[in-house]
Structure 1
Amino acid sequence: MHKAIVDPEPVTVPVSLRDFRRLQWIKTSARFSIGLVWVWEGLIPKILHPSATQFEMVRRSGWWWGSPEQTLYWLGMAMILAGFGIMSGIWSVRRPDLHAGRAGAHGAGHHEPSRGSA
């Protein structure tokens, strides 16, 4: 049986400023794309053009308040708010050891999370 080797120390990989900016662009684009899907799915099929299938799914679930139509509307509003939250990055994970790599790219030094902040 193989034992998994777990490295307790996080590894910091130096990244050039160009690569860092490219990774940030990819992350922002992905976040914006996913958020846009949530906004679209909340607005079009739940608020502007709800189908009988949407209403029927809510009705059959038994999880509705007031009426299935009201619940579908408020579900759409919640999805729109969540989509804007995703796009804004409000729930984005901020890891100090990842952002320290940015300082290394600028030549300000290398950050070792296990040894405290530099």
Structure 2
Amino acid sequence: MRQSYNFVQSEDMLVSSYKVLKASDVRQRWSEVVNEVACNKTRVIVEKSGVPVAGVVSPQDLEWLQERDRRMAELRQTMDEMRQAFRDVPPEEFNREVARAVQESRSRTDGPPPA
């Protein structure tokens, strides 16, 4: 085992850690690696010649990553739709209207903007 790190993900995920292992070590210790990922919520980065080539994650992590991908795809779609809707609006006018809408929205809230 070469490296081990701790990290915190977004608020949707648990605190987790990850290890960097050589591919040859993962092959030799596959059962142990799988158990560690499943039981200890550890992620494993697999390297070949010092280059990351794969990752081993728990089903919960995979589900979280898939949900994140889905949300990002939705966001990209929304952004594309917005670009299309405003494609004929000059940038200066667009920026002015956005600033006005933001100011209007802030004036309707009872407290400070969320952090």
User: Taking structure 2 as the reference length, what is the TM-score of the superposition?
Assistant: 0.31
Structure in which a larger fraction of residues adopt helix: 1
Which structure is higher in RCO with an 8 Å CA cutoff and minimum separation 6?
A: 1
